[in-house]
Amino acid sequence: MGAANNNGTDQPDDATQQKSMAAWGQWATAHQTSIVENGAPLGNTLKADQNGVSSTTNLITGYLVVEAESHEQAAAIFKNHPHFAVFSGSNSVEIIEILEMPANLSSADAGS
């Protein structure tokens, strides 16, 4: 899974957003065989813990799921992501490996 991170920069203006989405569309087309889920922008964050639910923040602004032979190959897909060139600041994409659920914890076994 790739998660976009704008490193706390302000929201871009409409022209920059349009330029970004056009560049992203070209990038997504070039990598369409690897994209499993197009993802979406992400909004506000809540945190749940033993003290209840509270507001919190993180730098993740969106997600996308890709499939690759390895974690490194998945990361390579994002090497020249267009958001690095379109947005100012130190934007990044974090590539988070999605692990398989152990067989003894699968949803099919949950009711057993």
**Model confidence band, residue 103 (pLDDT cutoffs 50, 70, 90):** confident
Burial 67-89 (b: 16+ CB within 10 A, else e): eeeeeeebbebbeebbbeebbee
Prediction pTM value: 0.72
Q: What is the pLDDT of residue 5?
A: 53
Please give the residue range of the domain that contains residue 81. Answer: 17-58+68-98
Q: Does residue 73 belong to any structural domain of this protein?
A: yes
Q: Is the pLDDT of residue 105 over 90?
A: no
pLDDT tens-digit map of 55-65: 999 888 889 99
Cα–Cα distances in angstroms (integers) from residue 75 to residues 46, 58, 59, 104, in the given order: 28, 21, 18, 30
> How many domains in the chain?
1
Tokens 């979406």 belong to 40
Q: What is the pLDDT of residue 30?
A: 95
Region 54-80 average pLDDT? 93
Task: Output the six-digit token pair for 54.
Answer: 């509270």
Q: Does residue 110 belong to any structural domain of this protein?
A: no
